[in-house]
C-alpha cells in the first residue's frame, strides 16, 4: 500500500507578509481561510519554494522575500506512512543572490534533492495554462511527472539539454556541417532515452485520466490526450536531423527533438484548445494534475502532497465537493486556501484562519 507523505511541521520566515509562521498541519485536509491578501496563497508558495527552489507566482526572487528583509527561510519536518517519529527535515534559505539548502542537516547543492523528498501537486489560478497555454507549460508538466517516477530522468534530461545547446551554438556560429553532424549521435541517444521515459509515464497518465474523469463525472467533453514526442512518429530522429540540417542552419536552431514535445488534446478529431470555457479548462487541468498524483502514487508507492489555491473560486460547487470527497478518501495531505471555508470544514482535519500574515488554528 502506498505511504502518505505529510508535513508534520512548517516554519516560514520572511516570505511575503509571512514574517514568522510556525504551524502543525493535520495529516489529511487542511483549510486556510482569510481575506484576499491575508497570506493564504503565500503559505502554499512557501511550500513550493522549499520543494522546487522557486515560486509558482513569480520568477523574481525580490517579489517573495519580505520587503526590507535580507533573507527568507522555509523549514519543514515531513514523514511517510503516518509515522511522525521518523521525520525528514528540509530547510531552504535564500537571499537575493544565493541559496542554501539542507536535508537532515546535510547541505545539498541541488534543488532536485529537495523535490524528491517533497513531491507536490499544485493547482493554482493559472493552472488552466496547462490546457490553453504554450507547449512549454505542458512539457514542464511532463518533465516533473517523469522526474518523480524515473530515477535517471534528470540526468538524461540534463545530458540532452547540454547536447542541444552544443548543436544550437554550432548552428548559430555557422560551424561546418561536419562539426554539427558530429554532435548528432549524442543528441539522438539522449533524445531516445528521454522519449522512452516520457512515453511510459504518459501511458500511465492516460489511464489515470480516463478513470478519474469517469469517477468524478467531469462536465467536460470526451477528450483524448496524446503524447507528441517532438518529431514525426514514423521517422528516425537521426535521419531527420541529418536530412533537415540545412533548414536548421537557415532557422538558427534545432527544430526537432524532445524539446518540442507536447500533449495533444482532441474532441471528435478536433483540437481542443481554444474553445473550452475557462471553467472547463480549469477542471481539465485539475484532472490532469490529479492523474499525475495517481501515477506518482502507483509508481513510487508514495502519496504526494496536494496544494489547492483558492479551489472554491475555480470550480463549481458540484465538482468541488466531488474532488473533496475523493481527496478525503485518498489519505493525501491536502492544503486548501479559500476566502470562505464554511462548506469545507466538515471535510477538514484542521482549519486555520490567516490574517495579516498571522496564522491561527480554528479547528
Choice between 265 and 23, residue whose per-residue pLDDT is larger = 23
- pLDDT at 316 exceeding the cut of 70: yes
147 and 268: one domain?
A: yes
Mean pLDDT of 163-177: 96
CA distances in angstroms from 120 to 99, 175, 217, 275, listed in the order given: 21, 43, 25, 29
Alpha-carbon gap, residue 51 to 60, rounded angstroms: 17
Mean pLDDT of 64-88: 88
pLDDT for the residue 318: 81
- pLDDT at 269 exceeding the cut of 60: no
pLDDT for the residue 257: 98
> What percent of the chain has a predicted confidence (pLDDT) above 70?
94
Residue 292 lies in a domain: no
323 and 197: one domain?
A: no
Mean pLDDT of 193-211: 96
Residue 124 lies in a domain: no
pLDDT for the residue 272: 59
Mean pLDDT of 300-324: 86
- pLDDT at 20 exceeding the cut of 60: yes
Alpha-carbon gap, residue 91 to 104, rounded angstroms: 8
- Give the least confident one: 14-28, 134-148, 191-205, 312-326: 312-326
- Give the least confident one: 109-113, 328-332, 337-341: 337-341
Domain count within the chain: 2
CATH code of residue 103:
3.40.50.300
Interhelix angle 278-300/135-147, nearest 10 degrees: 20
Mean pLDDT of 324-333: 89
Residue 126 lies in a domain: no
Digit-coded pLDDT (tens) for 104-114: 999 999 999 99
Q: Confidence class of residue 176 from pLDDT cuts 50, 70 and 90?
A: very high
- pLDDT at 192 exceeding the cut of 90: yes
Q: Confidence class of residue 82 from pLDDT cuts 50, 70 and 90?
A: low
Residue 359 lies in a domain: yes
Sign of the CA dihedral with 285 first, then 290, 292, and 293 last: positive
Extract the C-alpha cell encoding 162. 547540454
51 and 6: one domain?
A: yes
Plot region of 18 (φ>0 → left; ψ -120 to 50 → alpha; else → beta): beta
Neighbours of 23 (CB within 10 A): 17
Instruction: Out of 71-85, 123-137, 335-349, give the one with best mean pLDDT.
Output: 123-137
Alpha-carbon gap, residue 203 to 142, rounded angstroms: 12
pTM, 2 dp: 0.93
147 and 259: one domain?
A: yes
pLDDT for the residue 277: 79
Q: How many residues does the chain have?
A: 363
245 and 152: one domain?
A: yes
Beta-carbon contacts of 265 under 8 Å, excluding residues fewer than 6 positions away, are 131, 223, 224, 225, 226, 271, 272, 273, 284
* C-alpha neighbours within 13 Å on the C-beta side of residue 314: 21
Alpha-carbon gap, residue 146 to 158, rounded angstroms: 14
Digit-coded pLDDT (tens) for 139-153: 999 999 999 999 999
273 and 210: one domain?
A: yes
Alpha-carbon gap, residue 235 to 233, rounded angstroms: 6
- pLDDT at 343 exceeding the cut of 70: no
Alpha-carbon gap, residue 9 to 60, rounded angstroms: 27
- pLDDT at 45 exceeding the cut of 90: yes
10 touches 21 (CB < 8 A)? yes
Residue 225 lies in a domain: yes
Instruction: Tell me the three state secondary structure of residue 307.
Output: strand
Q: Confidence class of residue 200 from pLDDT cuts 50, 70 and 90?
A: very high
Q: Confidence class of residue 309 from pLDDT cuts 50, 70 and 90?
A: very high
What would you report as the CA-atom Rg of the chain, rounded to the nearest whole angstrom?
A: 22
273 and 140: one domain?
A: yes
Alpha-carbon gap, residue 63 to 126, rounded angstroms: 18
91 and 163: one domain?
A: no
Q: Which domain holds residue 311?
A: 1-119+304-363
DSSP 230: S
pLDDT for the residue 141: 96
pLDDT for the residue 170: 97
Residue 125 lies in a domain: no
Residue 179 lies in a domain: yes
52 and 177: one domain?
A: no
* 251 alpha-carbon distance from chain centroid: 32
186 and 250: one domain?
A: yes
CATH code of residue 150:
1.20.1050.90
Residue 288 lies in a domain: no
249-252 long-range Cβ contacts below 8 angstroms, 24+ apart: 249/171, 249/174, 249/180, 252/168, 252/171, 252/172
150 and 105: one domain?
A: no
139 and 39: one domain?
A: no
Instruction: Give the mean pLDDT of the chain.
Output: 91
Mean pLDDT of 230-238: 95
Amino acid at each position: 500500500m502506498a505511504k502518505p507523505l505529510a508535513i508534520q511541521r512548517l516554519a516560514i520566515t520572511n516570505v511575503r507578509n509571512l514574517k514568522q509562521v510556525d504551524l502543525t498541519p493535520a495529516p489529511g485536509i487542511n483549510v486556510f481561510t482569510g481575506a484576499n491578501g491575508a497570506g493564504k496563497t503565500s503559505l502554499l508558495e512557501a511550500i513550493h519554494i522549499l520543494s522546487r527552489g522557486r515560486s509558482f507566482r513569480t520568477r523574481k526572487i525580490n517579489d517573495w522575500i519580505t520587503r526590507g528583509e535580507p533573507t527568507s527561510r522555509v523549514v519543514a519536518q515531513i514523514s511517510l506512512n503516518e509515522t511522525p517519529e521518523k521525520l525528514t527535515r528540509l530547510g531552504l534559505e535564500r537571499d537575493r543572490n544565493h541559496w542554501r539548502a539542507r536535508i537532515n542537516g546535510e547541505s545539498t547543492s541541488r534543488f532536485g534533492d529537495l523535490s524528491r523528498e517533497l513531491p507536490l501537486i499544485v493547482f493554482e489560478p493559472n493552472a488552466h495554462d496547462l490546457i490553453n497555454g504554450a507547449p512549454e507549460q505542458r512539457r514542464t508538466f511532463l518533465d516533473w511527472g517523469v522526474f518523480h517516477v524515473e530515477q535517471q530522468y534528470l540526468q538524461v534530461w540534463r545530458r540532452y539539454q547540454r547536447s542541444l545547446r552544443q548543436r544550437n551554438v554550432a548552428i548559430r556560429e555557422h560551424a561546418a556541417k561536419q562539426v554539427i553532424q558530429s554532435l548528432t549521435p549524442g543528441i539522438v541517444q539522449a533524445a531516445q532515452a528521454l522519449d522512452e521515459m516520457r512515453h511510459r509515464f504518459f501511458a500511465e497518465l492516460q489511464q489515470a485520466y480516463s478513470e478519474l474523469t469517469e469517477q468524478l463525472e467531469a462536465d467536460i467533453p470526451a477528450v483524448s490526450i496524446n503524447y507528441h514526442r517532438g518529431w514525426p512518429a514514423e521517422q528516425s530522429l537521426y535521419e531527420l536531423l541529418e536530412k533537415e540540417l540545412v533548414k536548421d542552419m537557415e532557422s538558427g536552431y534545432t527544430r526537432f527533438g524532445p524539446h518540442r514535445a507536447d500533449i495533444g488534446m482532441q474532441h471528435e478529431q478536433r483540437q481542443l484548445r481554444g474553445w473550452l470555457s475557462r471553467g472547463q479548462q480549469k477542471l481539465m487541468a485539475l484532472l490532469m494534475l490529479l492523474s499525475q498524483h495517481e501515477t506518482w502514487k502507483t509508481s513510487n508507492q508514495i502519496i504526494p502532497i496536494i496544494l489547492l489555491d483558492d479551489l472554491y473560486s475555480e470550480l463549481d460547487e458540484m465538482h468541488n465537493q466531488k474532488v473533496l470527497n475523493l481527496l478525503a478518501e485518498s489519505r493525501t495531505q491536502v492544503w486548501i486556501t479559500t476566502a470562505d471555508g464554511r462548506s469545507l470544514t466538515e471535510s477538514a482535519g484542521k482549519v486555520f484562519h490567516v490574517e495579516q500574515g498571522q496564522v491561527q488554528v480554528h479547528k
